[in-house]
Amino acid sequence: MQQFSLSNYEFGFHDKIKPVFSTKKGLSENVVNEISAMKKEPEWMRQIRIRALSLFYAKKLPMWGGDLTKFNFDDIFYYVKPMDKQGRTWDEVPAEIKNTFDKIGIPEAEKKFLSGVGAQYDSEVVYHSISKMLEKKGVIFVDTDTAVQKYPELVKKYFSTIIPAADNKFAALNTAVWSGGSFIYVPKGVRVELPLQAYFRINAKNMGQFERTLIIADEGSYVHYVEGCTAPIYTTDSLHSAVVEILVKKGARVRYTTIQNWSKNVYNLVTKRMFVEEEGFGEWIDANLGSQLTMKYPSVYLKGRKARGEILSLAFAGAGQHQDAGGKAIHLAPETSSVITSKSISKDGGRTSYRGLLKVVKGAKNSKSTVRCDALILDPKSRSDTYPTMDISEERVTIGHEASVSKIGEDQLFYFQSRGISQAQAEVMIVNGFVEPIVRELPMEYAVELNRLIQLEMTGAVG
């Protein structure tokens, strides 16, 4: 009979592994409570999480969009304490990621940060000087965990009011297990000229799977928030399900720019919504380059008279990728206007799908909307779909939608070649030209990096 010694078990097994304070794999009420406890959250937030968890269990997966059948919710860690994310060494980062960094020209420190190697990025220094400037103006810019502790009244007032947990399965999931993300409050009349960037304030530790961002722009204010970056984010996390809620109050303006380039093993399922009040202006600039499957439809709810919304969506799908993206504009008040522009490119068997909703309710008189979706399919293996829905219940409106799908025109290629430019180079220039109307809205450094990234993707220099 074998003797099972407790001492063997305790030491023989454990001493090879560092103690890890993370939740086990899979989701349960225990896990959610543990998360809340680890963050030392007030009871009201824990309640929000628990309620959201039951909604998550109750809701079904969407039957449309990408293929989620292979996804196993029990096979992921819902919360990993920051320290553990640094276990990676530079050697473990895949070569193709390192190559891309070099080719895009990312500086040394950033490379380490982006691949989860570096503990802290110099961003700390940058962040501190920016926050002094913001403090003077009364602008709040912290991570959401901190906001719950420091500004509970503000958070309580707006959290989940724009995207309730019951909205969809992934909103419920996020509400139950969220961690990290940004909280921004801009007081009345204050304009923040410098674009606020996510990684000023966080370091690799907090690059979360379930970020929860909340931005409140009070009357007449302006802020531009930039999330993500062009360099590929290497992560072993397979599910990223963020929620972004934005309230644009009367006469305010918010621009939210996202450049998503998660590694190709990630399922990226995000719910993003802006409520735009009277005379407000909300803009989404959404560039999707990475991930295995992205399902994301930033939306603007135009709730007040003369509210405006603009959604610029760029999607690039290479081998094994499916970008299911688009935008929604809901006109709930008179004289509102929206513009949705989508540009997508698919190559090497990739698939891009534009999914959009344009809804005008009765009473939204004299509203206008223009939707324009253009898709380029670069080779016979690839695929492109367009599913735009227009739901109009008000007669006094002007609504237009146009879409086109094609490959790069032979006559365009020929024109370039007739001037001495090779076909390969011409294709890169034409594709960059195709996305130019969206790229030109990005902050300069991103625009440059994005152009270079497209070039790399086109010439097959990225794996």
Partner 1 sequence: MLQIKNFYISIGKKEILRGINLQIKKGEIHAIMGPNGAGKTTLAMGIMGSPGYNIKSQISNLKYQIDGEDMFNKLPEEKARKGLFVSFQQPVEITGVSVLSFLRTAYKALHPNEKIALSVFKEEVKKALKAVALSEDFMLRSLNEGFSGGEKKRAEIAQLLVLHPKFVILDEIDSGLDVDSLKIVAAVIRDAVKKYKIGILVITHYQRILHYLRPDYVHVLIDGKIKKSGGMSLVRVIEKDGYAAI
Partner 2 sequence: MKNIKIVVKKNEEKVVPFVWINGSENEVSVDARLVGEGASLKIVGIFLGTDSSSIIFNTSVVHEAPNTKSLTTLRGVFRNRAIFNNDGMVRINKGAKGADGFFASKILLFDDAKGRSVPSLEIDENELKAGHASTVGRPDENQLFYLRSRGLSEKEAEQLIVTGFFEPIVRLLAPSEQKDIRKRIEGNL
Q: Scanning residues 360 to 419, which ones bind partner 1 (CB under 8 A)?
A: 409-412, 414-419
Binding-site string for partner 1 from residue 425 to residue 454, where x marks contact by CB under 8 A and - marks none = x---xx-xxxxxx-----------------
**Shortest CA distance to 359 belongs to which of 341, 344, 340, 381?**
340
With CB cut-offs between 5 and 8 Å by kind, which of partner 2, partner 1, none does residue 403 bind?
partner 2
Phi-psi group of 126: left, alpha or beta (phi > 0 → left; psi -120 to 50 → alpha; rest → beta): alpha
Q: Alpha-carbon distance 411 to 200, whole Å?
A: 45
**Smaller CB separation from partner 1, 59 or 372:** 372
DSSP H or E run through 294: strand 293-296
With CB cut-offs between 5 and 8 Å by kind, which of partner 1, partner 2, none does residue 126 bind?
none
With CB cut-offs between 5 and 8 Å by kind, which of partner 2, partner 1, none does residue 99 bind?
none
DSSP 412: H
Least separation in angstroms between residue 340's CB and partner 2 is: 13
- Alpha carbons within 13 angstroms on the beta-carbon side of residue 122 total 6
For strand 182-186 and strand 140-143, is the pairing parallel, antiparallel, or unpaired? antiparallel
Binding-site string for partner 2 from residue 368 to residue 397, where x marks contact by CB under 8 A and - marks none = -------x-xxxx-xxxxxxxxxxxxxxxx
With CB cut-offs between 5 and 8 Å by kind, which of partner 1, partner 2, none does residue 378 bind?
partner 2
First to last CA, the chain: 54
Least separation in angstroms between residue 462's CB and partner 2 is: 21
Least separation in angstroms between residue 383's CB and partner 2 is: 5
With CB cut-offs between 5 and 8 Å by kind, which of partner 2, partner 1, none does residue 388 bind?
partner 2
149 binds partner 1 (CB under 8 A): no
**Smaller CB separation from partner 2, 73 or 387:** 387
DSSP 86: G
With CB cut-offs between 5 and 8 Å by kind, which of partner 2, partner 1, none does residue 421 bind?
partner 1
Least separation in angstroms between residue 440's CB and partner 1 is: 8
Least separation in angstroms between residue 417's CB and partner 1 is: 4
Least separation in angstroms between residue 392's CB and partner 2 is: 5
With CB cut-offs between 5 and 8 Å by kind, which of partner 2, partner 1, none does residue 400 bind?
partner 2
Give Rg (Cα) of the chain: 23
Least separation in angstroms between residue 345's CB and partner 1 is: 13
Q: How big, in percent rounded to 5, are the helix, strand and coil portions of the chain?
A: 35, 30, 35
With CB cut-offs between 5 and 8 Å by kind, which of partner 2, partner 1, none does residue 436 bind?
partner 1
**Smaller CB separation from partner 1, 47 or 417:** 417
With 0-12 / 13-18 / 19 or more C-beta atoms within 10 angstroms meaning exposed / middle / buried, residue 219 is middle
Chosen residue from 47, 422, 445, 459 binding partner 1 by CB under 8 A: 422
Chosen residue from 5, 28, 47, 406 binding partner 2 by CB under 8 A: 406
**Shortest CA distance to 160 belongs to which of 243, 57, 277, 59?**
243
Under 8 Å between Cβ of 364 and 397: yes
With CB cut-offs between 5 and 8 Å by kind, which of partner 1, partner 2, none does residue 19 bind?
none
Q: Alpha-carbon distance 357 to 294, whole Å?
A: 17
The tokens describing 348, both together, are: 């090497």
The tokens describing 182, both together, are: 């940004």
DSSP 119: S
What single-letter amino acid sits at 224?
H
**Smaller CB separation from partner 1, 74 or 411:** 411
Helix (H, G, I), strand (E, B) or coil at 151: coil
Q: Alpha-carbon distance 462 to 454, whole Å?
A: 10
**Shortest CA distance to 237 belongs to which of 22, 19, 456, 16?**
22
Binding site residues, partner 1, CB under 8 A:
409-412, 414-423, 425, 429-430, 432-437
Binding site residues, partner 2, CB under 8 A:
362, 375, 377-380, 382-407
